[in-house]
Amino acid sequence: MNDEELFVLLLEASCFSQEESIYIYENFKNFRGSMAEFVEQKLSNKCQTPFLFSTLKKFATAYDDLSIRKSIESVADRNCNSIKGDLHIHTNWSDGNDSVEEIVETAKTMGYQYIAITDHSLVAKGKVEMNEEKFMRQIKKINDVQKFYDIKIIKGIEIDINIDNSLDYSDEIIKNADLVIGSVHFDYGYGEAKAFKLLEELLKNEWIDIIAHPLNEIGKELFLGNYEKILYLTEQNHKILEINLSPNRIEEDDFLVKIFNDSNIMFSFGTDSHTKKQMKFMNFSNLWNISRDRILNYYDEPLKILNRRRQMIL
């Protein structure tokens, strides 16, 4: 994949049509500045939503970093046929763009055996408002959609941890999820040290299967300084760490894979897609050479692995 193809992919992943994306690249070629500057100056009112605009700005930071760009381009065309499914996807039930059906259709074209729908909870923050009642409705919806597809739809949730270490949903509700991804999205104004405390709590929480983007809100230095502790909590509590394939997180992923290289910690790949086109980011999983038995997405039945790990905790 060359610069143009990557640029076009990032625009398409942000809901521009292919035609528009190619046209925009022609303009970008004559622009004196970075992609981030170009997006800021030229595309702010062209994106469908402010959220897609902010996503595109993040993607642009990856494009502007020459070494990340070249790494991505070197693997983006390779297939990832041995991957059995994507384990982190959002739909229009939270802040994603597409419906459950559109995501499942895309997964079918990718040849997956399963996908996980993992919309945001974010109840306390009023940002996305997938409250408990809505989550239960989504489960019912997924059960209905499942009847029409062979591909297994895993009923997941990307749940937030609150300032008091509680999760957004009660035990009664959360137990209905097949897969629980825990995320630190906020430091609640208390900085990195608080974010790190919240990560520790997620690692200890019995409901959590996978920690999404483990470095979020926590700098590499603090993370590295607490390496032994994180390793211990992850192993002890049988947690899986996510390699989040959003382009702007590739550098973080690299760091994560390197520091846990010699451990037996399991990883999962998630595109964290908020549009169906972002599901293509799964090809970036080719960036790392990790033994397949340590990656959840290579297993035919990930839920069996998760259940086994849950039983080890309880």
Among 272, 276, 283, 296, binds Zn ion (CB under 5 A): 272
CA angle, 82 then 119 then 285, to 5°: 25
Alpha-carbon dihedral sign for residues 153, 158, 159, 161:
positive
d(CA 95, CA 58) in angstroms, rounded, equals 16
Does 86 bind Zn ion (CB under 5 A)? Our answer is no
End-to-end CA distance of the chain: 47
* Residue number with CB closer to Zn ion (12 or 272): 272
* Residue number with CB closer to Zn ion (55 or 183): 183
* Residue number with CB closer to Zn ion (91 or 183): 183
Residue 255, exposed/middle/buried by CB under 10 A (0-12, 13-18, 19+)?
middle
- Contact map string, positions 171 to 190, toward Zn ion, x by CB under 5 A: ------------x-------
Among 12, 95, 119, 158, binds Zn ion (CB under 5 A): 158
Applying CB under 5 A, which part among 123-131, 148-156, 211-219, 256-264 lies near Zn ion? Answer: 211-219
* Residue number with CB closer to Zn ion (110 or 245): 245
d(CA 242, CA 257) in angstroms, rounded, equals 10
Bridge partner list, 243? 269
Applying CB under 5 A, which part among 160-168, 196-204, 208-216, 225-233 lies near Zn ion? Answer: 208-216
Applying CB under 5 A, which part among 27-35, 78-86, 148-156, 265-273 lies near Zn ion? Answer: 265-273
Applying CB under 5 A, which part among 19-27, 77-85, 205-213, 289-297 lies near Zn ion? Answer: 205-213
* Residue number with CB closer to Zn ion (8 or 10): 10
* Residue number with CB closer to Zn ion (68 or 181): 181
d(CA 235, CA 237) in angstroms, rounded, equals 6
Bridge partner list, 114? 85, 152
Find the shortest distance in angstroms from Cβ 4 to Zn ion: 28
Q: Which residue is it, tokens 């991804």?
A: 181
Find the shortest distance in angstroms from Cβ 42 to Zn ion: 27
- Residue 267, Cβ neighbours under 10 Å: how many? 21
Q: β-strands 210-211, 240-244: how paired?
A: parallel
- Contact map string, positions 39 to 78, toward Zn ion, x by CB under 5 A: ----------------------------------------
3-state DSSP call for residue 110? coil
* Residue number with CB closer to Zn ion (14 or 183): 183
* Residue number with CB closer to Zn ion (106 or 183): 183
Q: What is the DSSP string of 239-304?
A: -EEEEE--GGGHHHHHHHHHHTTTS--EEEEE--BSSGGGGGGGGGGGG----GGGBGGGSS-HHH
Find the shortest distance in angstroms from Cβ 160 to Zn ion: 9
* Residue number with CB closer to Zn ion (60 or 202): 202
Token pair for residue 309? 């790990």
Contact residues for Zn ion, defined by CB under 5 A: 158, 183, 212, 272
